[in-house]
Amino acid sequence: MKHFRYTSFICAAVLLLLSSVTQAQEKFFRAIGTPHQPKVEASWNRYNTYDGIVDLMQQIADAYPKLTRLESIGKSVENRDIYMLTVSDFNTGNPDEKPAMYIDGNIHSNEIQGAEFSLYTAWYLTEMFNELDFINQLLKDKTFYIVPTINPDARDNYMKEPNTPHSPRSGMLVLDNDGDGKAGEDGYDDLNEDNHITYMIRKSPTGQYIKDPQDNRRLIQVAEEEQGEYEMLGFEGIDRDGDGNVNEDGIGYYDPNRDWGWKWQPDYVQRGAYKYPFSLPETRAVADFVLKHPNIAGAQSYHNYGGMILRGPGAEEDKDTYNREDVRIYDAIAKKGEEMIPGYRYLTVYKDLYSVFGGELDWFYGGRGIYTYTNELMVSYLYFHKNEGRANQEEELKVDKYLTFGDAFVDWKEYDHPQYGKIEIGGFKKNFSRAHPGFLLEQDAHRNMAFTIYHAYQTPKLNILDVSEKSLGNGLKEITATIYNERLMPTHSSQDLKFNIERPDLISISNANVVAGMVVEDEDFNKVNEQVENPETLRVSNIPGMETVKVRWIVSGGRNYKIEVDSAKGGKATWK
């Protein structure tokens, strides 16, 4: 009787458990293209501090140990770890020997959403690995190296300290900008203690502004012959050094995106450059990692603002670096990106923006031969699907009125200033304009991620397409192997070939007595290029995208021979 009761209790418990699982499953209806029941619960409508980024990276690594590797690639100025997630299917080979895509964000401290977009990519790839055949195969073939923030110190300063939407631009060095011999005296002062540096205005009979009668948040500049009511005093601040000016000193202007060792120029030529190329530990850490990983074939860096897919060159002086064949690859990928990300435009840095010397984009391509884009995230088009580029004040006020319901603006309020007297403080918050509002963050993250995945997909994929034999008599035979690159990118970019950046691709045969080895240049006319030394391993300069390369050996014997392809950026392939 007791046994019956115990069994009944167990059955009831199991039924209850199954019922609760079924009920939990019934609470959600699967949305297409999105992780349905993720192991790592993450919200993509908000921003993460440095600690939040590290926590999410650790959660992903813990949840997917066979797909991820978490490591620090270096330290920041303030000794924070610069963390990287490697994402690949570790069961299908060494991730450092597969064609790889490098992704980073947040090189500029106020350009924060690049970290979320990078993190979203790592999260999506791991959560969808067992859900989508495409993602499953992608991670079998490729590797993703993802560094959400390469400027962690300034990111935390931007978020945790009072700042404008545009500050601090870059690094965490405090400067003496006004030349009085004292650094940091006149930084921003958060007078109303709301963690945002907004504007100061003051009533004045000679003022050039009035408040818009239809919307008192907005200041309207009056005509020269008209009398205004307010004068603009600039961002919140106090004159602490008694020189009659505010906000001259602050978190300083060295720019990590002017610190890279390609066409670098000193600060008096290129504002923001530091001491010498790679003088900052953050950029040096990334460069050291890239130099040690020749399998990186594509790269993506996330910035803001303006809705742009950018390629180099950064300066007109460098325009000859970008070979026509490589530009053809750039164009094909980026034009597909324009379709994927509405409102974004494909542009060239120096032609469409301004000159940049010593930029990350150009070092990756110019110095390492890696096809690289910079996406300038967030664009006005996302608001009302009308305007492209940067939103003007009128549009931003409409966004705040109709879409964020007053959350983006600090209303004007009076304040007694020690120098200016009675003033008003107000304006847009630091986390608006350049940064996505939460409701737009996940959609744009997904679209940009899709573009980056498309880029990664087009890195080389090599396949030994065909192996044929021909008897030559006297125990000799001719073996011809056809190697096919199934993707758009070649195994060596034109820039790579020009400067011999990476070793040639190696195509070898084993378990056969090789008499001669050669690369077939024209099979129809039997034109070959023989390699006299070490004919077992043929050195091929390049395997173009969507094309084949043929190699040939004359061998004696060898029934169980094996052919292997080993390419730094194209990975490995084997035929037996």
Burial of 465 (0-12, 13-18, 19+ CB in 10 A): middle
Instruction: Clarify whether residues 284 and 411 are in a common domain.
Output: no
The encoded tokens of residue 528 equal 């070959």
For residues 375-394, average pLDDT = 91
pLDDT at residue 281, as a whole number: 95
List the domain range (segments joined by +) for residue 213.
Answer: 174-250+402-428
**H/E element, 356:** none
CATH of the domain at 486: 2.60.40.10
For residue 253, what pLDDT is reported? 66
Q: Are 269 and 357 in contact (CB under 8 A)?
A: yes
The answer to whether residues 227 and 146 belong to one domain is: no
Contact yes or no for 150/94 (Cβ under 8 A):
no
- Percentage above 90 pLDDT, the chain: 82
E-strand stretches of 476-570: 476-485, 505-510, 513-522, 527-530, 537-540, 548-556, 562-567
pLDDT 10s digits, 126-183: 999 999 999 999 999 999 999 999 999 989 989 998 999 988 777 655 554 555 555 4
Q: Are residues 57 and 101 part of one domain?
A: yes
**Residue 26 domain-assigned (yes or no):** no
Per DSSP bridges, beta strands 100-105 and 296-304 are parallel
- The pLDDT of residue 387 is 81
C-beta of residue 372 within 8 angstroms of C-beta of residue 364: yes
Q: Rounded distance, CA 83 to CA 54, Å?
A: 7
Sign of the CA dihedral 130, 134, 137, 141? negative
Q: Are residues 272 and 335 in the same domain?
A: yes
Domain count, the chain: 3
- CA 98/CA 161 separation, integer angstroms: 41
Evaluate whether residue 108 is within a structural domain. Answer: yes
How many angstroms separate the first and last alpha carbons of the chain? Answer: 66
The whole-chain average pLDDT of the chain stands at: 92
User: Which residue has 């979320």 as its token pair?
Assistant: 116
Asked if pLDDT for residue 378 goes beyond 90, the answer is yes
Element (H, E) at 275: none
Same domain, 467 and 531: yes
CB 123 within 8 A of CB 63: no
436-464, pLDDT tens digit by residue? 999 999 999 999 999 999 999 999 999 99
Residue 246 counted as domain residue: yes
Kindly tell me if the per-residue pLDDT of 349 is higher than 60. yes
pLDDT value, residue 16: 56
What are the distances in angstroms from CA 15 to CA 5, 9, 12, 343?
A: 15, 10, 5, 52
Dmax over CA atoms of the chain, in Å, equals: 106
Q: Are residues 324 and 377 in the same domain?
A: yes
The pLDDT value recorded for residue 167 is 80
Strand order in the sheet with 513-522: 462-473, 476-485, 548-556, 513-522, 527-530
Split at pLDDT 50, 70, 90, the class of 249 is low
Task: Read off the pLDDT of residues 483-526 as tens digits, 9 standing for 90 and up.
Answer: 999 999 999 999 999 999 999 999 999 999 999 999 999 989 98
How buried is 218 (Cβ within 10 angstroms: 0-12 exposed, 13-18 middle, 19+ buried)?
A: middle
In terms of DSSP bridges, do strands 513-522 and 548-556 run parallel, antiparallel, or are they unpaired?
Answer: antiparallel
Task: Please check whether residues 65 and 187 belong to one and the same domain.
Answer: no
Q: At 278, which CATH number?
A: 3.40.630.10
Same domain (yes/no): 186, 139: no
Is residue 287 included in any domain, yes or no?
Answer: yes
Considering the chain, what percentage of its residues have pLDDT values greater than 70? Answer: 91
In a domain? residue 295: yes
Q: What is the enclosing helix (H) or strand (E) of 575?
A: strand 571-575
pLDDT at 558: 75
Tokens standing for 109?
A: 């401290």
pLDDT score at 51: 97
- 191 and 90 housed in the same domain: no
User: Which range is least confidently modeled, 21-30, 90-99, 270-279, 431-440?
Assistant: 21-30
pTM above threshold 0.75: yes
Residue range 180-204: mean pLDDT, rounded = 80
How many other CB atoms are there within 10 angstroms of residue 133's CB atom? 7
What confidence score (pLDDT) does residue 465 get?
Answer: 95
Over range 251-260, report the average pLDDT: 83
Residue 273 has pLDDT above 50, yes or no: yes
Are the C-beta atoms of 542 and 500 separated by less than 8 Å?
no
Over residues 347-370, the mean pLDDT reads 96
User: pLDDT band at residue 7, thresholds of 50, 70 and 90?
Assistant: low
> If you count them, how many residues does the chain have?
576
Q: Indicate whether 474 belongs to any domain.
A: yes
In a domain, 16, yes or no: no
| Lowest-confidence segment of 304-313, 329-338, 432-441, 556-565 by average pLDDT | 556-565
Residues 110 and 201 in one domain: no
Taking the C-alpha atoms of residue 191 and residue 468, their distance in angstroms, rounded to an integer, is 79
Q: Specify the pLDDT at position 6.
A: 53
Residue 10 in any domain: the answer is: no
- 137 with 282, same domain? yes
Q: Which tokens sit at 449?
A: 């991620």
pLDDT at position 183: 46
Q: How far is CA 509 from the centre of its chain?
A: 39
Stretch 76-99: mean pLDDT, rounded? 97
The Cα 30–Cα 28 span in angstroms is 6
Whether residue 339 sits in one domain with residue 221: no
Model pLDDT for residues 533-562, shown as the tens digit of each residue = 999 999 999 999 999 999 999 999 878 999
pLDDT of amino acid 425? 97
Q: Average pLDDT in the 398-425 region?
A: 96
